[in-house]
Structure 1
Amino acid sequence: MCHKFIFSILVILNTTLALGQAENKATVSLQDCIEIALNNNLDLKSSTLRTESADINFRQSKNALLPSLNGNYNIGKSTGRSIDPFTNSYINEELTFSNAGLSLDAVVFNGFRLINSWKQQKFNLLASEMEQEEARQNLILNVTLTYLQVMNTRDLLNLAENRIESTEKQLERLKTLYDAEMGNPAEYRDFQGQMANDKANLMAAKNNYQDAKLNLKQLLNTKIDLEIATLDMPLEFNVYSESFEQVYDLAVKNLARVKADEYRLNAAHKGVAVARSQYVPQVSFFANLGTNYSSAAKVFNQGGTIIEDTGDFVTVNGQDYSVFTEKNLFTPEDISYRDQFDNNLNTVVGLAVSIPVFNGFRAKNNVALEKIKEDQASVELDRTKLELHTIIEQTYNDMITAYERFKVLEEQVVAYQESLRINEIRFNNGANTSVDYIISKNNHENAQISLNNVKYEYILRVKLLEYYKGNI
């Protein structure tokens, strides 16, 4: 349903831009606004990207536990004096060479550095997820509070419009008397001044309403002019059922902000363990497989024999005889690329131990730095709890005060409403002056504004307390 709604909003926007007609308004509920904000808000998108980065770091630290396997291959041509990779002797000719290898490296033990690093990144990921959830909860809360603020300013705008209507009725009646030169002309002028005052208040109310809607549109990251639907508001408010201590305990238990700081503290604990592993020797297993090829490599095949004079001779009975020898003839033949790779295979297997003897106190300083980060994370957690305690206590006290003011202002509105009714009758019958009526009218209308403001103030404080309880 959310996707359909957003699609319809985009259709409205495109239609408006294409036709260049008057600005369309889409009526949205509070839930609609929350869904749009969750899809569009830039701060929430940034928080989501940070969580995705933390997830990649976590997976990378987990994959670091696996052995590393790497292969290499090269082929090239050499001219001039060089070493034949087949015979390791110097040659002076054009040579084509190639090498290939495969290496394996696996950490057997390093003081649990890789395991603790993996756990540290896991806690960082959980913290980032909680920070994303906190951003989501804050966005929902801000949209809700801003939505209520729009409703409040709209109610005040309606009150300002009603104020003008009641003033206009009296002004029309007094204008008739003024034109007929009857009654007190000062009363007509008093109401002209009152009308100007009411119009000024109406302009201020319109501006406040537009500002509130602009703040809502900014949270939703939209340029469409939205018209909000009216929420069902309770006619009677009851005393808040839970105490401040109960709200605070639930906040410490449920709020994503507190959980994020707790995960950061756990990650700092693991950071200290990672740093301490630098004191421990590292044992690793390695293995290599290699081979090579050289165009200078030849195989010589026997192709027959010949009789050659050796240049030597033997003397028999005073007679010299030449010495001949039978010599084998060999025909050179290139060794194929594949055969050389098969014949030249070599393997290496071993165990390596790296023992830290002295590293300029780097390990010691790293441990000290990680301990400081651990203390900082602990301080941040304590600060968060302290700030929550202060904010929740203040919000709770403001809620109680708003509730008590609401009850008092309800009585005030009833009293001023009856006073206005009486003064209006007396003024219409000439028993009261316009000043008395205007004072009574302003008292009643100002009391309505105060009651409307404190009503929303109470609702806002209740919404905040519900947020701190983890109910958003």
Structure 2
Amino acid sequence: MALFAQSEESITYTLDECINAAIQNNLNLKSVKLDAMSNDVFFNQSKNALLPNINGSYNLGVANGRNIDPFTNAFVDERLTFSNAGLALDATVFNGFRLMNGWKQAKLNLEAAEMEIQAAKQALILEVTLAYLRVLSEQDLVVLAKARIKTTEDQLARLKTFYDAETGNPAEYHDLQGQLAADLANLAENRNTLKSSILGLNTLVNSDEKIAAAPLNNKLELEKYPYSADEVYAQALNVFPTIKSNELSLASAEKGVSIARSQFTPEISFFAGLNTNFSSAARLFNETGSNIVGTNDYVSVNNQDYQVLSNQMNYSSLEISYRDQFENNLNSSFGIAVTIPILNGFRAKNNVTLQKIRQNEALTAVQQTKLDLKEAIGQSYNAMQSAFERLQLHQDQVNAYRESFRINEIRFNSGVSNSVDYLNSKNNIDNAEINLSNVRYAYTLRAKVLEYYRVGL
């Protein structure tokens, strides 16, 4: 069969080239991959949640008016420059394995997302394969339509000679004219259907180029399908990505129940801190001597009042540097904190109930997917068997009608039979060849679908 191109701008692709292009360009597959990337981020977050929290802080500011001096904790009424720095550590020691189960749940979700990518990829390959086969089927029908037109045109040219010479039956000439119009109409319809099929293929591939299909390198395999429906289903349960994805989602839901139950258990955490501060009001006082000063107190000796004198120490104040204050004011703390859930509005109980519902939903999804898979395989298998049975019958029909047409064509050319018998015989063989072509591709399509379920494509 010759290569087919829809137009001069079309580029002929093989089936493998179409599949590779679709995997690279298909938007639905890209969307599924983006969803999986989100699950990858969630997995990293849950894994990193197992690490302790370590945070540092630092501030520097200016305060005016009456403030508390962070150095002495006394009130001061002056412009004050202050600064604080700290380092805090918080590590969860035990919380009912909530963090560990959260990490395991995120890992299961990531694996399920990867299975969804695989399922979407295989489904896309199947769609492209079926669309490609539809294009090939329509191309075959166009070739058959052209062959019918060629046969009709040859007969019409022969009858035109008699018609122009005003010999023979003119009705037969007009019958052939009508048949040619019908054949041309069928060709136009086949070409339109082919264009629609090519458009569908191009949509799946999502390429900037206009793609046309090339015939398969090998003939369609029309041998009897070697596996039973039960064998296909049994293998599909082990390899079908959607089944695996749903089973992983079920395992994730089971972890969700464990996470919810952990809210009933106490949480134990370890904490530690390191802090220091600075104040511009902080001073260092040094003794510089002393002197005698009078006080407001008096003592009486023999009715004589004497002023009480006091020895007063003298100091000089020095500013303490930023670095020295940070070193001198350094302090640390550490300990263990225990949070015991007593009453939280029954949130923990309700969360466990909700997670159990999600677990049952996931279990139902697994069961429903298996049931749908078994039904789809059974329907495809029955359709494949029916197509295979009809395949030989249509081949026998084509052989019979081909021989009938050969005889009727000879009789018609010899003038023994009329145009009605000839056209009936021609239409019989044309329809039989169309039916044979359709059933060949119908069988191949169903076999491809079964292989998709059994081992993927």
TM range (shorter): over 0.9
1:292 aligns with 2:277: yes
Partner of 1:379: 364
Partner of 1:358: 343
Partner of 1:215: 200
Match for 1:126 among 93, 101, 111? 111
Partner of 2:186: 201
Residue 384 of structure 2 contacts residue 443 of structure 2 at CA under 8 Å; is this kept in 1?
A: yes
Equivalent residue of 2:416, what SS?
A: coil
Q: What is the rounded CA distance, in whole Å, between the counterparts of 1:71 and 1:236 in structure 2? A: 70
Partner of 1:141: 126
User: For each residue in 1:43-96, what CA deviation from the matched residue of structure 2 results, as whole angstroms up to 9, or x when unmatched?
Assistant: 000000111111111111111111111111111111011111111111111111
Residue identity in the other structure for 2:14: S
1:427 aligns with 2:405: no
Equivalent residue of 1:332, what SS?
A: strand
Deviation at residue 314 of structure 1 after TM alignment: 8.0
Please say which of residues 342-351 and 200-209 is displaced more in the overlay: 342-351
1:440 aligns with 2:425: yes
1:73-472 → structure 2 map (5 Å cutoff): 73-234=58-219, 237-310=222-295, 327-472=312-457
Deviation at residue 302 of structure 1 after TM alignment: 3.1
Runs of 4+ that moved beyond 6 A: 311-323
Gaps of 5+ in 2: 1-6
RMSD: 1.9
Partner of 2:4: none
Equivalent residue of 1:39, what SS?
A: helix
User: For each residue in 1:151-174, what CA deviation from the matched residue of structure 2 results, as whole angstroms up to 9, or x when unmatched?
Assistant: 001111111111111111111111
Deviation at residue 333 of structure 1 after TM alignment: 1.4
1:51 aligns with 2:36: yes
Partner of 2:3: none
Number of residue equivalences: 451
Residue identity in the other structure for 1:166: T
Deviation at residue 310 of structure 1 after TM alignment: 4.8
TM-score normalised according to structure 1 size: 0.92
Q: What is the rounded CA distance, in whole Å, between the counterparts of 2:418 and 2:213 in structure 1? A: 42
Deviation at residue 188 of structure 1 after TM alignment: 0.8
Q: What is the rounded CA distance, in whole Å, between the counterparts of 2:361 and 2:29 in structure 1? A: 26
TM-score normalised according to structure 2 size: 0.95
Identity over aligned pairs, percent: 53
Deviation at residue 233 of structure 1 after TM alignment: 4.3
Q: What is the rounded CA distance, in whole Å, between the counterparts of 1:168 and 1:257 in structure 2? A: 54
Deviation at residue 203 of structure 1 after TM alignment: 0.6
Equivalent residue of 2:197, what SS?
A: helix
Q: What is the rounded CA distance, in whole Å, between the counterparts of 2:137 and 2:406 in structure 1? A: 26
Equivalent residue of 1:268, what SS?
A: helix
1:72 aligns with 2:50: no
Residue identity in the other structure for 1:344: N
Residue identity in the other structure for 2:375: T
Residue 217 of structure 1 contacts residue 223 of structure 1 at CA under 8 Å; is this kept in 2?
A: no
Gaps of 5+ in 1: 1-21
Residue 58 of structure 2 contacts residue 84 of structure 2 at CA under 8 Å; is this kept in 1?
A: yes
Residue identity in the other structure for 1:217: N
1:336–1:434 Cα change, 3 Å: same
1:24 aligns with 2:12: no
1:258–1:319 Cα change, 3 Å: closer
Please say which of residues 156-165 and 296-305 is displaced more in the overlay: 296-305
Residue 222 of structure 2 contacts residue 443 of structure 2 at CA under 8 Å; is this kept in 1?
A: no
